[in-house]
Structure 1
């Protein structure tokens, strides 16, 4: 294995921007797009990418795989009414091939599969049109797809849909997805039974006898490389001999599900690179696409860009990553693209725009409205407050407000939307009262709009930061027998395997106790309230205690306990005040969540906010305790992640905490 290169920024990436015309070669069973820079071969009429020729490498894809297992669209579906997130894997192989555009500047190909009632129960009830586009002078190619369900067709579910590329394992060994998340990777062979030991779930493998000894003792798990939609713009692989980069670039998230915080897979051992359009990861069944039998639907996924780059002899191979980041800016600046030939993908002049300013009104923070600094503001299909994080059928358009709260949401498809927002530093969700109708070419100015976050009284105490993440809490060091070296001394230390087991190590018999005024949530609040493993191998629920003092109590007043969760998995949260043995809890969430965030090394899943009334007669002058019980006890992965906890006094209350 080559020694890890030092990352440097260079300006000598030498892509041969040939002026050759785009050519199309149609064969009996294949079709080839060629612009003099890259040559892409697809099976006909299936639309599987079987070969990518670039920079003297005859095929960047894994030639040891069968042709259908190299570069493909796929989805996982099930019939309506089925529960869970498992279904039938379908590579969506086309049955008809058509040339949509063919000239010197562009080739666009269509591979379609049409549904009819004779296929019921055999194939997902969708018309599928996969498109592949090559442009003159472009070092790569684009792909997008149009899914359509007609009203009279049967209902169905989709768990996930994506594009996958399997690269040559003898060529691509270095993976990059962020400046601080890149490394040489183990080989797929290292995951085989004779070289790897499967851990608590199949995706996680301890490398006990890897081909390269430097990986011995590390854990490989594809979920360690998950990424939020808002940051998932480019990822891929580098071949060092010759220096070639293979990058998947997603210039927009408008077609992705569930908004900017939704997490999905990127690249992982294979070497594999993915463009995830929709998945139930880090959310569970709440994000399974479910269609009724009388529900018409059409959606365009993509385009995404497969970008290839190379270097002059002697240049540092990791400069390919820097060049790929530059290409991201080019692609983002070109969105929405002008070249797609489908009328289902509107160009910029057929879209609209929304501008405005968001302010926050919280009289216990300021007498005046506060600019919503860095607020997330987005347009998503009509729904309830906060519904955007579970929405997966339509399009979403998100931006960040500036320090003064001004925002602009450009390039919005026509249609009816709600405008949603949430503001880091404040709990809850905002929804603009009026439905916003986007028409072609129109700009809408909503003016100043005001979010009034949940608030009944002054803050008596709080734990954490209201940012929908548990990242500020204590994340332990991993068991040294189960590490990924990338995340040693890394900001994303929560991505190490097995951290759920560290709770039992730290609290073998007694649960966490947090004392307001003395404890520090960065060090004293474990990042997830998980189960405790007992000596017999079973698990038990846990009860955390928050101890606090009140100098004065309004016995006739109503206090408010606000608990924001960053994630939940098959958990029930119960809250009691000053009586741990009370038969009935003051509050119970019921069993909630299927995020599986704890097992998949995330720091958040879906957001929950509970606002709990606490009658003054439940509290005492002096010492008080809040008991937080997580009842689930059948798995190490059951648990919740807290985002933020706050106790408010009655509206007229003031208190000096000890």
Structure 2
């Protein structure tokens, strides 16, 4: 029956209206009209034919629920809140956890605070609902929450429009959000914007993040019965439902991923075989650039789409709104993709199919079906091409190709500012072996072009703003990066790649491991508790590294951490680099290039041949809040310090550089080194 029969007199009025529309369209030769709500054909008799995209409105007690069905799956949305309350697919009545409240299954949330005040976790529930687009191929729905000063202590001062798009023939739905602040609104900080989906725990047990990172996961109750570890997210499984997982550590941060690789992740249900995937076709709306790390999926079972967060970076990458400036940004769309096994495939084919869908979504970006005016279509965007070379006369007299350089456009700022940028859009690519790059699908706007290269320290910035206009194809030609360099290399430790992965990452405690990473050398750093192994390896005294004798892959611990005295107090630690010089120049300064891959509430002090001199010859001051040591990140934000070393501080024999991480209030204060290089005085 058509929906009017369920609505009484209101439905009858709707029916009469549509019958009038039907009569008008029939006389004009147009196709018969369909109900604006249930999408059934309004023809003679009781026709019940459906189109591929159908909408039905039902009322459950005091809550209104919108039911959308495109013939492949059914989506339930609360009205006007816009929470995803149900997803029916492949014979499963609801993929989402029915033991949770309707508003706690699929939702948007933001984390914000007034400057200097405590943070607020804000679930975003719409207050108005609108059908934005409705045709034979697509339905777009809008759920808006408009900020009201009368509730300013509860909701973030932000107008938020949550949108969902359901398309013909697509097994899943698109979600995107429009965050908007009119001019003159009050100052706030906003540290997180995301979408959360909580799946049925009795169905979804297998999680996949990448080809290598897939596994059967613990149940949420296994965490509740487990042993809490150094922070709430980490739990030792002592009596899990699946005894094969007994003795493992579960920690959601073990499944984090860099933005550039965070394209598809999700869960697989074994019976019936069904996949639930989060697909992100573009990184343009994510914050802090391509190597910013963030959460993906974890025990719950939970799947996330993270747009803004301070994970692995700290408040430096949180959005700060000051002085009442006008701001708007479109986050997404992302695709919640559903798949099931065909007669020819096995469970593994669900992951392969999800990857294929991800590739298709990326290829068709920007979507031509998103009609919001602030989402430019393909012909409204531009491109930039060029070639990056490197000039470092102490490495070679010739220019070097910018081999595999990361090249990107981000809002104007200083060199390297892209890794802390959070309000605009960024567009990145990786150059080929000869440094040639092509960045396409760029939104119109004013940008700087930035770059950095594996194997080369520092950050490049093109010194002219890049103005993107609709349809432009900018050719920048050859660009030359002159990395920080004062003199010839005397010695070096590590590889300048912005991570600490090349250093000595210890084996985890056998009783505190995640079995997924026990055979992996690439992801070994993701194990829990590795910071505590420093005390085992250096029980009496701190690390000493002898240039020319020691091997950094074996003798340089991956993280410079504090020393636990086992009475709930911690001590600062001082590492030593011992080296000799054939001669010491009596004119000109030496330079210590010190690159950090991470810093967390650290103060790194550097002294030359005198461990007790005060103040230190150099100090970073307290820097960083990325917490990458505790969260298995192997890097957070990148820091580079070029430290001048007067020749009077050095001798030909028995030189020692003392590196002291002076902050010692807890276990996770420290730094990860990326690369250290001592340069001689410049050669004329």
Q: TM class, shorter-chain normalised?
A: over 0.9
Q: Kindly tell me: are residues 96 and 535 of structure 1, through their superposed partners in 2, closer, same or farther at Cα, counting changes over 3 Å? A: closer
Partners of 1:80 and 1:292 within 8 A in 2 = no
Aligned partner (choices 615, 623, 627) of residue 654 of structure 2: 623
* Paired residue secondary structure (2:355): helix
Distance apart, 1:79 and its partner CA:
1.2
| Structure 2 match to 1:112 | 144
1:554 correspondence with 2:585: yes
Q: What is the rounded CA distance, in whole Å, between the counterparts of 1:27 and 1:155 in structure 2?
A: 40
Task: Measure, in 2, the Cα distance between the counterparts of 1:536 and 1:306.
Answer: 49
Instruction: Write the distance in 1 (CA, Å) between the matches of 2:527 and 2:650.
Output: 40
Alignment of 1:539 onto 2:570: yes
Residues 234 and 324 in structure 1, CA contact (< 8 A), matched pair in contact too: yes
CA deviation vs aligned residue, 1:503-561 (integer Å, no higher than 9, x gap) = 00110111001111111100000000001111423111110011111011102221000
- The residue aligned with 1:142 is 174
Give yes or no for contact 1:100–1:341 (8 Å, CA) kept in 2.
no
Q: 2:218 aligns with which of 146, 167, 186?
A: 186
In the alignment, is the contact (CA less than 8 A) between 2:405 and 2:435 conserved in 1? Answer: yes
Query: Which of residues 95, 104, 110 is equivalent to 1:75?
Result: 110
User: Which residue matches 1:375?
Assistant: 405
> Per-residue CA shift, 1:322-374, capped at 9, x if unaligned?
11111111000000111112111111111111111111100011111111011
Find the counterpart in structure 2 of residue 305 from structure 1.
Answer: 335
| Shift of residue 312, structure 1, vs aligned partner | 2.7
Q: Using the TM superposition, give the Cα deviation of residue 632 of structure 1 relative to its aligned residue in structure 2, in angstroms.
A: 1.2
Deviations 1:241-296 (A, max 9, x none): 01100000001000000000100000000000000000001111111211014111
SS in 2 for 1:50: strand
Quote the Cα distance in structure 2 between the aligned partners of 1:295 and 1:652: 50
- Tell me whether 182-191 or 575-584 shows the greater mean CA deviation: 575-584
The equivalent residue for 2:531 is: 500
Distance 1:161 1:54 in 2: 27
| Other-structure match for 1:292 | 322
Partner of 1:266: 296
| Residue 47 of structure 1 pairs with residue 78 of structure 2 | no
Does residue 582 in structure 1 map to residue 613 in structure 2? yes
Question: Is 2:564 the counterpart of 1:517?
Answer: no
* 1:651 corresponds to: 682
Residue 175 in structure 1 maps to residue 207 in structure 2: yes
Partners in 1 of 2:374 and 2:612 — Cα distance?
60
Instruction: State the match for 2:93 in structure 1.
Output: 58
For 1:410 and 1:367, the matched residues in 2 are separated by 33
Question: Structure 2, unaligned stretches of length 5 or more?
Answer: 1-49
Q: Indicate the structure (1 or 2) with the bigger Cα radius of gyration.
A: 2
SS state at 1:133 partner: strand
Matched with 2:162 is 130
* Aligned-partner SS, 2:548: coil
**Matched residue of 1:27: which SS?**
strand
The 5-angstrom pairing of residues 384-399 of structure 1 reads 384-399=414-429
RCO higher in 1 or 2 (8 Å CA, sep ≥ 6)?
A: 1
Counterpart for residue 642 of structure 2: 611
Structure-1 residue corresponding to 2:131: 99
- Alignment match, 2:348: 318
CA distance in 2, matches of 1:48, 1:265: 21
- Measured after TM superposition, the shift of residue 20 of structure 1 is 5.1
**Number of residues of Structure 1 aligned to a counterpart in Structure 2:** 630
Instruction: Tell me if 1:216 matches 2:246.
Output: yes
Residue 248 (structure 1) aligned to one of 274, 278, 284: 278
CA contact (8 A) 1:79 1:121 kept: no
Matched, 1:34 2:69: yes
Deviation at 1:36, TM superposition (A): 0.4
Indicate conservation of the 8 Å contact 2:122/2:154, yes or no.
Answer: no
Q: Which runs of structure 1 show a deviation greater than 6 angstroms over 4 or more consecutive aligned residues?
A: none
Q: TM-score, normalised by structure 2?
A: 0.91
Match of 2:17 in 1: none
Q: Secondary structure at the match of 1:567?
A: strand
Give per-residue Cα distances to partners, 1:448-473, cap 9 Å, x unaligned. Answer: 11110000110000000001000000
* SS of aligned partner of 2:342: coil
Out of 373, 377, 382, the position equivalent to 1:352 is 382
Give the CA deviation at 1:385.
1.0
The correspondence of residues 195-210 of structure 1 with structure 2, limited to 5 A, is 195-210=225-240
The counterpart of 1:460, out of the listed 473, 487, 490, is 490
Identify the residue that residue 566 of structure 1 maps to in structure 2: 597
CA RMSD of superposed structures (Å): 1.1
Q: Is the 8 A contact 2:287 2:421 kept in 1?
A: yes
| Residues 36-58 of structure 1: CA deviation (Å, up to 9, x unaligned) | 00111100000000000111111
**Which residue does 1:163 correspond to in 2?**
195
TM-score with structure 1 setting the length: 0.95
Q: For 1:214 and 1:535, how far apart are their aligned partners in 2?
A: 32
Using the alignment, how far apart are the partners of 2:273 and 2:209 within structure 1? 17
Give the corresponding residue for 1:5. Answer: none
CA distance in 2, matches of 1:158, 1:245: 32
Cα distance in 2 for residues equivalent to 1:562 and 1:610: 6
* Residue in structure 2 matched with residue 24 of structure 1 by the alignment: 55
CA offset digits 1:140-199 (Å, max 9, x no partner): 11000100001121111111010010000010000000011110000001011xx21111
CA contact (8 A) 2:584 2:651 kept: yes
In structure 1, C-alpha distance between the alignment counterparts of 2:291 and 2:395, rounded to whole Å:
27
Distance in 1 of aligned mates of 2:345 and 2:307: 35
Q: Which runs of 5+ in 1 are unaligned?
A: 1-18, 654-658
Corresponding residue number in structure 2 for 1:422: 452
